[in-house]
Amino acid sequence: MTAKKRSKKPPKAKRTRSHVLRVDLASILSIDHDCDGCLRGEPCCCSAYEVCVTTAELERIIPVLPGAARFCPHLETGGGYDNIFDEVEPGLFAIDTDDEGLCLLAFRSGRKVRCSLHAAAATLGLTLAKVKPKACLLWPMAFSEGKEVLSLIDDALVFRCNTLRRGRSSSFFPAFVNAVDAVYGKGIGGLLEQETARGALLAVVSCRR
Ligand code: SF4
Ligand code: SF4
């Protein structure tokens, strides 16, 4: 790869079980988002970023690798698994990519990019929150480190699945509430819906991580 990728990076694990989350509702309400998988050559969230996982996420992903390898046979090498993760700083691991810059955990089905962790979770009856990186669950939202702020990524409109809404909206795109519930705890998405219904552009909620 020539250009340095932007990173899709989770904040370091926190010791506390709950913390304050600030949500930039206005930015998230400004788009519609609907993933139907990318074709080769299209800007894709599985190749546009360096995706990083924490040690805790890595420990959840490793047991699922046999299931993921059913969709990504390239992960298996001589009785083990390819070198999928590179430690980029203590406690933070980047998922390696192929020659085209695509995440090693991605595969193509019907010519569209799919996530093998997502597919393995469905096969094994696991929730996505148990296996997918937080950064991937939330995309096209991003979160800042430190005081966590959730907002729309800056380059959202580069991707075909994100479209700008006309005028002001008070309802999120359909996948948003499920993604927020999966990452921050059940009910958080509903709280944010209540905030938007009363016209708030920024919300502050207490959540589990
Ligand atoms: S860029 Fe959009 S359509 Fe492509 S895989 Fe990511 S979410 Fe799906
Ligand atoms: S882990 Fe899955 S969703 Fe995330 S970048 Fe890799 S293939 Fe895409």
pLDDT grade, residue 83 (50/70/90)? Answer: confident
Which ligand has an atom closest to residue 120 CA?
2
Does residue 43 fall inside a structural domain? Answer: yes
Quick one: how far is CA 25 from the chain centroid?
A: 18
Residue 172 confidence (pLDDT)? 96
Pocket lining: 159 vs ligand 1, CB cutoff 6 Å = yes
pTM above 0.85, yes or no: yes
Within a domain: 181: yes
pLDDT at 12: 44
Check pocket membership of 161 for ligand 1, CB cut-off 6 A. yes
Closest ligand to the CA of 35: 1
Which residue in 25, 27, 24, 23 sits closest to 165, CA to CA?
27
| Strand bridging mode 162-164 / 31-33 | antiparallel
Pick the ligand that lies closest to the CA of residue 45: 1
Residues comprising the chain, all counted: 209
Lowest mean pLDDT among 79-88, 99-108, 150-159: 79-88
Enclosing H/E stretch for 52? strand 49-54
- Tell me, what's the pLDDT at 60? 96
Point out the least confidently predicted range of 18-27, 35-44, 57-66, 67-76: 18-27
> How many structural domains does the chain have?
1
Question: Is 157's C-beta closer than 6 angstroms to any atom of ligand 1?
Answer: no
Distance CA 29, CA 135 (A): 19
Domain-embedded: residue 97: yes
Average pLDDT over residues 63-86: 90
Q: How far is CA 188 from CA 19, 73, 76, in A?
A: 12, 37, 38
- Is residue 1 situated within a structural domain? no
pLDDT score of 167 more than 90:
no
Q: What is the mean pLDDT of residues 132-156?
A: 92
> 137: Cβ below 6 Å to ligand 1?
no
* Residue 21 resides in a domain: yes
Distances (CA, A) of 182 to 13, 68, 100, 129, 168: 17, 20, 30, 5, 26
Question: Which residue range is the domain that position 123 belongs to?
Answer: 6-207
Q: Tell whether 122 is covered by a domain.
A: yes
Is the per-residue pLDDT at 104 higher than 80? yes
Is residue 57 situated within a structural domain? yes
pLDDT for the residue 3: 40
Of 16-25, 123-132, 196-205, the least confident:
16-25
Any ligand 1 atom below 6 A from CB of 11: no
Amino acid letter for position 77: T
How many angstroms is it from 115 CA to the middle of ligand 2? 5
Please indicate, yes or no, if residue 111 is contained in any of the structural domains: yes
What is the pLDDT, as a whole number, of residue 10? 56
Determine which residue's CA is closest to atom 1 belonging to ligand 2: 105
- Contacts with 147 (C-beta within 8 Å, 6 or more apart), sequence order: 20, 22
What's the 184 CA to ligand 2 centre distance in angstroms?
19
Does ligand 1 have an atom closer than 6 angstroms to the CB of 45? yes
18 Cα to the center of ligand 1, angstroms: 30
Q: What is each CA distance from 6 to 70, 180, 202, 204, in whole angstroms?
A: 29, 22, 25, 27
pLDDT over 70 percentage in the chain: 90
Provide the mean pLDDT of the chain.
Answer: 90
